[in-house]
Amino acid sequence: MRRPAASRTRTGKGGLRTPSPGERFALRRERFKEAIRDAASGRPAMALIFSGEDRGLRTFSPDAGFYYLTGVQSPDSLYFLAVSPARDTEVLLLPATDPTKERWTGKVLSAGSFTEACEPDARRQEAARLTGLPLIGTFQQIEEILARPLHEAEIVFLNLPDDSPPGQVGPVQHLAQRLAASHPHLRFYHAGKLVAALRRVKDPGELALMREAMAITDHAHEAILRHLRPGMAEYQVQALVEYAFTSLGAQSTAFPSIVGSGPNTCALHYDKNRRVMSRGDLVVCDIGCRKDLYCADVTRTYPVSGRFTRRQRSVYDVVLRSQEAALAAAAPGVLIKDVHRAAVEVMAGAGLAPYFFHGTSHYLGLEPHDAGSNEVPLEPGVVITIEPGAYIASEELGVRVEDDVLITPQGAERMTHAPRDPGEIEKALARPRRTVIL
């Protein structure tokens, strides 16, 4: 059994206080260390978790597992862990501090150095404080750091990317191949699943950030309801949504905004957003922002004219009932496929099962489709989406309704609140609609 994620640290006086960032990440690493020890069954093992490479002008985002364990967003960094019966070693390697580069790209968390008195300088101290990791070096020291543990270790866990294109060997695979050639006794395993299992249950700090991302995404939906009108282009809705995200303090979108109207309501991942909408269309708006790396993901389907047609409303009602059934099914001990079954049953009862051809839920967190196994029962602290849909292409009629849901000890809590009741949507759209003037 997993221990519940700790939210507070006991103080000396027996009181409770919110943990510092360093403590929060140290706690996650303790659980990771236990997972590595379990997986290695007592044999000496190492884990190498890389942040990923900086690719020049493209915006860098760190490997989610690396960020989860360290809180570091710098490229070219490594969290190194060696466990053996004798001792554990943890080292954080960061990019060397490079003031010349920082003139172009700004400050990043970097390794710093030592003062003349041989003490860690301010940059190194800052890195240690934010991560809770006292041993810090530069990424160039990787060979030196690995030398001794490599003699002892029998098993190596690496965060190999899951989705690297076939045939393409990235730097992590390259390192693995090199180590395998020079140390043939080593056995290599993927660290991703171990970190994913930890990431599945969110701690209170993570939930707080997700609630912020969700509140901002709800606001963006309300902004759509104030502006949606025939003649508006899908990309204008997208612009409005992304303006709301940024102006409300989100750093970015969590995924490309999907604004699909008319025939595009039936394209699940449509993100071209080029069509001009007309009276009579539905528009599926599947949007989400990111707050401090944590994601929201909320879908609503609106009638562009302000009123659902009788047929649109009947399909919408079924999708909403299907979502309610799935929400009622979501609880600790239940599998994601059971939540899906509850949604499908309602669709099937209305003859819409053939038009619902995707899963009902995915995990949500540091990634919009977050890590975690679907074979493990839901438990308190897990966040999933519940998003049934019906897509009748011959009628250009697609409906999806998606909310973000926290599993609680009692069942499930809907965390997102943008209007989804059809009457409420029509009422909101009956107000005079604003025009965005630039």
Q: What is the DSSP letter of 350?
A: T
Binders of Mn ion in range 235-274 (CB under 5 A): none
User: Binding segment for Mn ion among 70-78, 100-108, 148-156, 296-304 (CB under 5 A)?
Assistant: 296-304
Q: Which is nearer to Mn ion, 261 or 385 (CB)?
A: 385
d(CA 132, CA 312): 54
d(CA 77, CA 51): 5
d(CA 95, CA 67): 15
Of 365, 407, 404, 16, give the one whose Cα is nearest residue 198.
365
Q: Which is nearer to Mn ion, 90 or 218 (CB)?
A: 218
- C-beta of 48: minimal distance to Mn ion in Å? 31
Q: Which is nearer to Mn ion, 297 or 370 (CB)?
A: 297
Per-position x/- string for 356-385, each x denoting binding to Mn ion as judged by CB under 5 A, each - no binding: -----------------------------x
Q: Which is nearer to Mn ion, 268 or 348 (CB)?
A: 268
DSSP track, 86-108: S-EEEEEEEPPP-HHHHHHH---
**Strand pairing category for 155-158 and 45-50:** parallel
First to last CA, the chain: 56
Amino acid at 333: G
Q: Which is nearer to Mn ion, 76 or 297 (CB)?
A: 297
Which residue(s) pair with 173 in the sheet?
Answer: none
Burial class (CB in 10 A: 0-12, 13-18, 19+), 433: middle
- C-beta of 368: minimal distance to Mn ion in Å? 7
d(CA 435, CA 66): 44
Instruction: Out of 218, 234, 281, 297, point to the residue binding Mn ion (CB under 5 A).
Output: 297
- C-beta of 380: minimal distance to Mn ion in Å? 21
Q: Which is nearer to Mn ion, 97 or 385 (CB)?
A: 385
User: Binding segment for Mn ion among 33-41, 201-209, 255-263, 294-302 (CB under 5 A)?
Assistant: 294-302
User: Binding segment for Mn ion among 91-99, 144-152, 238-246, 290-298 (CB under 5 A)?
Assistant: 290-298
- Residues in the interface with Mn ion (CB under 5 A) total 2
Q: Which residue is nearest to Mn ion (CB)?
A: 297
Binding residues vs Mn ion (CB under 5 A): 297, 385
